[in-house]
Amino acid sequence: MSNNKQMTRLILSAAIAGILMSATAMAQDSTQDTSATATPTTAGKNPARQANAKATTNLQQVVVTGSATGVKKIDASYMLTTASAEQIKLANPKSTADLLKIAPGLWPESTGGQTGANIEIAGFPGGGDAPFNTVQMMGSPLYGMPSLSFFEQTSIFRLDDTIERVEILQGGPSVVFADGQIGATENFILKQGTETPTGSIGVTYGSENLKRVDGFYGFQIAPNWYGSIGGFYRDSDGVRDPQFPADKGGQLTATLTHDSDRGTMMFYARALNDKNQFITPIPLIQNGTDNFSAYPGFDPLKDTYNSKYIQHVFLAGYPGGGTNADLANGRGAKMNFFGGNFDYDLGDGFTLSDKFLFDAGDVDTNALFSGSNPASLNDELYNTPTGQGGFELPAGSATATYTGPGGGGAVDPNQSVIHQGWWYIHKHLKNVNNDFRLSKEIFEGNTLTAGVYLAHYTMDDKWALGNQMLMTNTPNARPIMVSYNDAGTIKQLTDNQGFLDYGGFNIAQHGTATNKAFYLSDSWRVGKWLFDASARLENQDATNNVCNLTNVPLDNDPNTLYNNSVPVCNGSFARTNYDKTHTSWTVGANYELADNMSVYVRANKGVHFADFDNGIRGATTGNTAPLQKIQNFEGGFKYQSDLIYADISVYHKQFNGLSFQPTDGAGTPVGAPALYGSDSKGINLAGAITPVENLKFMLVANYLDGHYSHNNSCFKFTNVVTGVSGCQFINGEQLQRQPKVRYMFTPSYRIPFAWGDVTAFVTYTHVGAHTQDQSGLQQLGTYHTYDFGVIANIQQSWQLRLQGTNITNELGLTESNSRIFGTAVSGGVILARPLEGREVNFQVKYLFGS
């Protein structure tokens, strides 16, 4: 491992040093007398700066994601969605993850808050977090692994006015380039400085008491040198008000660019410091299999358990002797980024491209996580079985009082109560990656590219999971303290914060990994045909060390039941080494039927490596989970005219290597993991019709026929909500959390005036039937929403924007209690995440230099 680290650092240092030294050559290029030289080719220019960000629905637009040197959309033989800065705003995304809804086949679940989204990709059996999604900034992945427990990459990226455009790629050639993502990749291209100073300043106010300021300024520093700076800051109570700021923080981004006759060198830096409320499921009433309504006392559109009463806690089981934790810190991020891109024309048909990124920081989680379903205090104390979250105390023996800020006073035995985990995860990440490419035009129309991708990254975690807190089953919950008389002895069921235990999984762990990949890609244009073939050989060498736990009493008092058996690190560690190598490949062909129309076919095979928390931790060296592999076949059609824009693809995806670990009611693994796969067929569509000038109808839609496969046995489980143990066959069940049909239909109309224009639109979104997990036993129903927007451009300098989401207050579910396998309902009550209610925001923006 140490040799791998040294080699990686050496190569990365050499690559970055090459970029820095090239500045001298570029400076010389920019001062050369070009009158006696041939016109330089555009191959060495930065493709990101060449692309026209204002023409993202134009098939002639150049895209830089998923190809070796950049390609026009009409020539791209894969599904690709692009959006300009203005189109990103029109989507009115709640978060970075929520923006992905503009791509057919992608479905982000944004009901958990600004961060920590579950991102589903049609045909990929995910089910939680975002294991098959990569976020890139200027073509560089933000971290070496797509996701970890309590981390996915959109959590460390925020949308603001420093973004020029986004390119969203699904599968296809992404299995070869950059980090080799087999699922979806969104590449955010930053705005850069220009000769004419340009910029904007915007102020936004939202109905959830959102107050936000955005700004950007791009400028010329000297001839051929450009700079930019921008960012945002905001404070919001959130649609679900937790009695403290739900979202608070911002980021600052700067770029430095140098252009020469032969290429471009660009550096960028970003500092992010943001805190975001993480929203846990709330109770609802389930009628039948997939019909839901409000639970008494809870508004499903705007309420949350989070409150000032449970905001500040001390978690005694946290590794190292305990720690204070603050619910207001939520699932935020404090990260710093520094990266660079270098594109250069070496002459004689050779071009060079290099991208690097360093980033590091903390991505902590302070949040409630669902436990068992609610019950009356009396039932919870005396009647509900322990296997379903009850305590079964001696009848009439308990004393329950409110605790925390403003505490005191007895709790009514009929008060509905619930206990939930107050979890704190400290996660410190470091990442450095470099993607080096050398291209050569072998002969006219044929370009061969060789590339090396290197990534070295670490993870340092401390977890305090469990920490079940007894609280009122009410919005902005209050904690409850319980003691009871056991044959004359007073025993403390909870501590004075309401905790029933001091954690069930209090670990410290350190992960280190290096990925090394070599790839070749050939692109060959023959008349109206464009062929490409690419292959990648990648090795992931990872090690994870996690402390071994021993259950100990923290105070040696047998009457304090909450801390009599607390798992703590005992000084020894379990070490797991993971070393896997695999090949991925893709081939595609595109035929240009006309200047505005093309068809394509593509095949690819790719691999998904394990991450520190999923597939490595908990396994022993040599006995880790098998690689997850996908085989994908797709075909598509693209067309554009004044009347119609259409981008349609069909696909067949086969997945294998998935693992299911049966557990008992306490979450303890039972037996060996079961392996299974999936088989999916579907259609993705992005289209627009403009029947008359200024009137447009846009559609983003997908149909998915996806189900689990390759396992004819039943999966054993114990449901802690119902107390029932069972065995469920999953072969043929619908892929979890993925609707069969989803579409967004947006009519818009632009009204020109002498002083500017006004554009109004409404977006209707339909989400079809979807299920909670592999069992298919918990249906989540269907729903539809309406969003709207009105944008007024006044002269050249002012813009007014009024936008809103879920304006009809639709009740729709994206997930239920994710810690339950099977049905999550008991007594007609279910814990689930519904959509947030209506939110409306208004922005005033001043623009200059555009």
**pLDDT tens profile 73-103:** 999 999 999 999 999 999 999 999 999 999 9
For residue 674, the model assigns a pLDDT of 84
Q: Count of domains in the chain?
A: 1
For residue 665, the model assigns a pLDDT of 60
CA distance 268 to 278: 30
Task: Quote the domain boundaries for residue 7.
Answer: 2-376+399-547+556-848
Residue with tokens 């989204």: 117
Is residue 382 assigned to a domain? no
CA angle 279, 391, 398 (to 5 degrees): 105
Residue bearing the bigger pLDDT, 460 or 624: 460
**pLDDT tens profile 124-164:** 988 778 999 999 999 999 999 999 999 999 999 999 999 99
Contact criterion met (CB below 8 Å) for 804 and 701: no
Interval 729-742 mean pLDDT: 92
For residue 559, the model assigns a pLDDT of 97
Contact criterion met (CB below 8 Å) for 739 and 704: yes
Q: What is the CA radius of gyration of the chain?
A: 28
With bands split at pLDDT 50, 70 and 90, how would you rate the model's confidence at 818?
confident
Is residue 393 assigned to a domain? no
Residue 359 has pLDDT above 90, yes or no: yes
- DSSP string covering 255-303: EEEEE-SSEEEEEEEEEEEEEEPPPPPEEEEEETTTEEEEPTT--TTT-
Closest CA to 459 of 506, 507, 427, 505: 427
> Percentage of residues in the chain with pLDDT exceeding 90?
79
Contact criterion met (CB below 8 Å) for 8 and 456: yes
CA distance 190 to 204: 22
Is residue 386 assigned to a domain? no
For residue 608, the model assigns a pLDDT of 95
Say what the alpha-carbon torsion angle 163, 169, 174, 178 is, to the nearest 10 degrees: 10
Residue 552 has pLDDT above 60, yes or no: yes
Interval 303-329 mean pLDDT: 97
Query: Looking at residue 530, which CATH number applies to its domain?
Result: 2.40.170.20
**pLDDT tens profile 385-434:** 988 889 999 999 999 999 989 888 999 999 999 999 999 999 999 999 99
Q: Secondary structure of the chain: what % helix, strand, coil (to 5)?
A: 10, 55, 35
Interval 731-745 mean pLDDT: 93
Closest CA to 411 of 403, 421, 419: 403
**pLDDT tens profile 2-37:** 444 454 444 444 444 444 434 444 444 443 333 333
Contact criterion met (CB below 8 Å) for 131 and 146: yes
Tokens coding 38: 């041939």
Is residue 392 assigned to a domain? no
Is residue 578 assigned to a domain? yes
Interval 454-481 mean pLDDT: 98
Is residue 389 assigned to a domain? no
For residue 664, the model assigns a pLDDT of 63
**pLDDT tens profile 39-64:** 333 334 455 454 444 445 588 888 88
540 Cβ contact partners less than 8 Å away, ≥ 6 residues apart: 513, 514, 515, 578, 579, 580, 581, 609
Residue 722 has pLDDT above 90, yes or no: no
Contact criterion met (CB below 8 Å) for 651 and 682: yes
Is residue 236 assigned to a domain? yes
Is residue 370 assigned to a domain? yes
What separation, in Å, do the N-terminal and C-terminal C-alpha atoms of the chain show?
52
Closest CA to 176 of 598, 533, 479: 533
CA distance 8 to 540: 12
CA distance 183 to 145: 13
Report CA-CA distances (Å) from 654 to 129, 457, 607, 630.
21, 30, 12, 6
- Report field, pTM of the whole predicted structure over 0.75: yes
With bands split at pLDDT 50, 70 and 90, how would you rate the model's confidence at 182?
very high
Closest CA to 814 of 186, 148, 274, 101: 101
Residue bearing the bigger pLDDT, 731 or 717: 731
CA distance 830 to 6: 52
